[in-house]
Amino acid sequence: MTINSLATYRPKLHFAPKKNWMNDPNGMVYFQGEYHLFFQYHPDGTTWGPMHWGHAVSKDMITWEELDIALYPDEHGTIFSGSAVVDWNNTSGFFPDEPGLVAIFTHHLDGTEERPPVQTQSLAFSHDKGRTWTKYEGNPVLGPDTKVDFRDPKVFWHKETEKWIMSLATGQTITFYSSPNLIDWKFESEFGEGIGSHDGVWECPDLFTLKIEDSEEEKWVLIVSIGDNPEFDRGSFTQYFTGSFDGSTFTAEHDSIKLLDVGKDNYAGVSFSDIPDEDGRRIYLGWMSNWRYANQVPTDGWRSQMTLPRELAVRKVGEDYKVIQRLVGELNSYFSEKVDIDECIVEGTKTIKVEESYVDLTLNLERVDAEQFGITVHHTKEQHTTITFDSAKNVLVLDRKKSGQIDFSDMFLLDQEVKLENTDNVQLRLVVDSSSLELLVNGGEYSLTSLVYPDKACEAISIHTFNGTIKAAGYVSIPCK
């Protein structure tokens, strides 16, 4: 490890803590002109340790101001994941004068020789826009349960039944509870047995509605993260279900496993609460890492970053419904000019010099007769990451074996692959930062998020073909100077 890695890998566009360890995003909420990002934080080291809630705020979700630690461990345990809401109507009784923020989080008490670990749900509230917090004197408000895994409460106000709904990760299911006041909780239902992936423990649920593209209809969507299982080479990942929710029970409309992100490095993501109705977006943010190697990634003095914020929607594809992702519009103001890639026929390799600390590539690729084609991000002359489309197999493959520092994990060397409907016409958006690539394919129908650790972000981008030609057109957006 060199001191240079402190600066070399630090992202320009993504949130990372100034120092020490970070994992899951927590308590994401919009209130009085600020986006709040709380996060799992270990203030005394760069590997996972006793969890606190770190805190940052932003006006645009790209540039963040890191604030003081919001929640510290106490007699009930360390502070695991959870959510935050605005109590607009003082249902809790904490806000007699004006609305404020309530955090709903898991207290985790380590086990002893006499008893297993205990996880319970607790509250804290803030009267000053999240700058200081008071823990509820009646904590915990829910639990303990017989299940060891009983955590990660995500809470929202369900207008139709006029009650708060909590989604809670309970082993390999999600359990729903309801409350009139955030304090007194009642069991509603349990979801997950015999459906979806059960390759690891279920974590970090989020339940919400999304508009269907080109329609006035909505779908309920349940996001569930799946913890690492050493028996498989995937590591941690996130699945989702589309369906319906009646205020008590979520019903999925499919048995298939749907992945929110096909890359290795998007986990534990949830959405912001209380985005204003006039905005109307459902905005998602994930932890950009994988539990298989999160404690070993080669940064110095700090570990982990978040994905860029993404707007979610549902697209009907045939008879299926897919969650799609688009990077938020606020990102565009961080780029000042575009380098056009005029429509051209590519046979072999076409290279575009970039030499920037971060770039945003938009590209349309139309296959003429190439067997394989794609793009290569040249970080340096020796280091590169390659994205290839195989027309015979209709697959996309991201190869980071020569992307820079890779020797900290065997799984980091494995290709990341996704099956596509076809590869005849492909639309790409790729954001390259100091130590990451975020790839959205076909208007966000596929998302692939991948860490990389090169000496530089990007010196050039090349379009390449094998055995044939393609048509290519697009542009590279470069940073504001």
Given the structure tokens 């998602």, which residue do they identify?
284
Domain ranges of the chain: 5-327, 333-479
The confidence score (pLDDT) of residue 413 equals 95
Give the mean pLDDT of 339-344. 90
Does 5 score more than 80 pLDDT? no
Average pLDDT of the chain is 96
How far, in Å, CA of 357 to CA of 455, rounded? 11
The confidence score (pLDDT) of residue 3 equals 41
Span between the terminal Cα atoms of the chain, in Å: 31
Where b means 16+ CB within 10 Å and e means fewer, 71-110 reads beeeebbbbbbbbbbbbeeebbebbeeebbbbbbbbbbbe
The confidence score (pLDDT) of residue 6 equals 56
β-bridge pairing 446-451 and 458-466: unpaired
The confidence score (pLDDT) of residue 146 equals 85
pLDDT tens for 76-101 read: 999 999 999 999 999 999 999 999 99
Predicted structure pTM score: 0.96
Name the DSSP letter for residue 8.
H
> For the residues of 454-479, what is the DSSP string, one character each?
-SSSEEEEEEEEESS-EEEEEEEEEE
Does 2 score more than 60 pLDDT? no
How far, in Å, CA of 70 to CA of 166, rounded? 22
Confidence of residue 1 (pLDDT cuts 50, 70, 90): very low
Q: Which of 29-38, 79-88, 338-347 has the lowest mean pLDDT?
A: 338-347
How far, in Å, CA of 80 to CA of 50, rounded? 9
How far, in Å, CA of 389 to CA of 421, rounded? 12
β-bridge pairing 302-303 and 20-31: parallel
Does 421 score more than 80 pLDDT? yes
How far, in Å, CA of 253 to CA of 263, rounded? 25
pLDDT tens for 438-456 read: 999 999 999 999 999 999 9
Is residue 199 part of the annotated active site? The answer reads no
Q: Please tell me whether residue 332 adopts helix, strand or coil conformation.
A: helix
pLDDT tens for 348-357 read: 999 999 999 9
* Domain 333-479 sits in CATH 3.40.47.10: no
**Beta pairing partners, 141:** none
Confidence of residue 145 (pLDDT cuts 50, 70, 90): confident
pLDDT tens for 173-211 read: 999 999 999 999 999 999 999 999 999 999 999 999 999
Q: What is the CATH number assigned to the segment(s) 5-327?
A: 2.115.10.20
Give the mean pLDDT of 22-28. 98
Q: How many CB atoms lie within 10 A of CB 395?
A: 15
From the list 24, 206, 360, 433, the catalytic residue is: 24
How far, in Å, CA of 207 to CA of 393, rounded? 35
pLDDT tens for 218-253 read: 999 999 999 999 999 999 999 999 999 999 999 999
